[in-house]
A = this chain, B = another copy of it.
């Protein structure tokens, strides 16, 4: 085994696959009702003549056309030879036209008055005019649609031979644990194959997921040999890099042939492909991002190239909200989120190392070809949509600090088929992103120590006027197991917190406001850096109280007086504040429904939600 991979270009890998291997098929007979999305293996012929007799196309009366030709509104013709018919009724022998109910006056049970002449054949569908017995309804190779199912059933066809493409998915790796087990350090729950199976299902490919195979060449070989007997193609997850434990390449060389190992693409660099018994074998990285990229960018395009019906992909022209660097010589596939900001689609990049959460949050992929070193912020390019719901028109692109209320806001927006995407960013990054105008706005948390006034913050990165829209306020309390009775004889211990911090300021302001006697309180020896540490010490009774967010306190069933709050604000440039999207958000945040929705997260105050104020230092 070579220690380093010799990478072939991405397009070369695509070409090798397209020209050297094809998926196998399984031929199955399925009931017509279960045939949707399948491909006909043989042509399908009508078993019936439709309609099987001349039928009426209207509710009305079957008549003899020649008896009606002098009829006018002024001089109706009165007919005694007629038969009432419904839409779809067979036309009785001897009759050759149908007059619609609306064009007839019923005189009595055995005579009708008609107001205009009927031409022969009028409103009658001839026998066999739709299809004859033996007419080809669907050719072999046809992808069966719902309309085809209706037609086949109507034409007397009850089952159909279809070609089925079945993927064999083999999870490999000593570190893998079955779902529903608790992974130890360095272990991970095997999820790649389930994800690949769900993804293949969207294009109608069935999957067989095999049991987890440890990093053992004999066991890998056995698994491949079983899968090639049962499947159209095989994907081995993990074991495709050149690590000591990566045996797939050797096994392929042993029992079949290797097409390539190593493609200059990112993620997915260590991918390999080969053939065993004419069945294509793919190796994909064990990382979910790498496995998905290889499926999306190599395996599915190969299926399409070899004739498998893959739906049309939705491409969107976007302006990049981020600079996306790329390595020369590598085809880069970057997960993105796109949304409509004003009249343009913009796209933000998801962190490459974000694991499965990046894939969960993204709705598009940007492909940067090997001859590019990347694309600068503000440039236009075309990206491929991978999720179409919610529609990009209804996605808010935000940057800023994370707060759990944003998850609740996102959830609330789903009811309106909208969503927010918040790219985590520092205070400074957020202000710069707002300034660039490529996102809807930024999330900033502003501290309010004395109930009303803001702590001063530096907004000088923002060159223009901007507004703050309050999403919610997070309340802070002086958390305790029981309310401290400062009038008792007891000496109360409180935490040592950095005097610069917001938490210290809150606590100090409370002591002063309530004129707590400094003799009765005692600072603890050890410094507490986080709210979690403060809570821990309260629970362990090392301290009697301490400041923390009421949200966190409630999780540990601690209570106490409110001592201040932080406002979680959406910051929007002046030129964007009147846009439909921002106005919609303001309206939403000010609504009673938002108030109700956010109540599920304790410790937030919503009385100022939806308020808009000019942002001032």
Q: Chain A residues in contact with chain B, CB under 8 A?
A: 3-4, 32-33, 36, 43, 48, 50-53, 55, 57, 59, 86-90, 101-102, 125, 129-131, 136-143, 145-156, 158, 175, 179-180, 182-192, 194-199, 201-202, 241-245, 286-288, 292, 307, 309-312, 314, 353-357, 359-360, 362, 385, 387-389, 391, 404, 407-408, 410-411, 414-417
Contact = CB atoms under 8 A, between A and B. Distances in A.
Most buried by B among A150, A192, A416: A150
B150 A357 contact: no
Given A88-B188, A125-B353, A198 B149 contact: yes
Given A88-B186, A311-B389, 14 more contacts: A32-B179, A48-B183, A50-B188, A50-B355, A86-B243, A86-B245, A87-B286, A129-B355, A130-B356, A146-B195, A146-B197, A154-B189, A156-B189, A307-B417
A136 B407 contact: yes
Given A88-B286, A201-B36, A241-B87, A194 B356 contact: no
B156 A407 contact: no
What copy number does this chain have within its complex?
2
A463 B414 CA distance: 59
B136 A194 contact: no
Contact of A355 (B59, B130, B156, B194): B130
Given A150-B359, A359-B147, A52 B312 contact: no
A360 B241 contact: no
A579 B245 CA distance: 54
A197 B89 CA distance: 26
A198 B57 CA distance: 26
20 contacts: A3-B101, A33-B194, A43-B407, A50-B356, A86-B245, A129-B355, A130-B356, A130-B357, A137-B360, A138-B360, A145-B198, A146-B195, A147-B195, A147-B199, A147-B356, A147-B360, A150-B288, A150-B292, A156-B182, A307-B417
A411 B139 CA distance: 5
Most buried by B among A138, A180, A199, A360: A360
Given A202-B36, A415-B307, A357 B131 contact: yes
A145 B312 contact: no
Contacts of A307: 415-417
Most buried by B among A147, A191, A408, A414: A147
A4 B100 CA distance: 12
Contacts of A415: 141, 307
A149 B194 CA distance: 7
Nearest to A186: B90
Contact of A53 (B186, B189, B292): B186
A389 B304 CA distance: 11
A311 B388 contact: yes
Most buried by B among A242, A356, A357: A356
Nearest to A305: B417
Contacts of A245: 86
A191 B359 contact: no
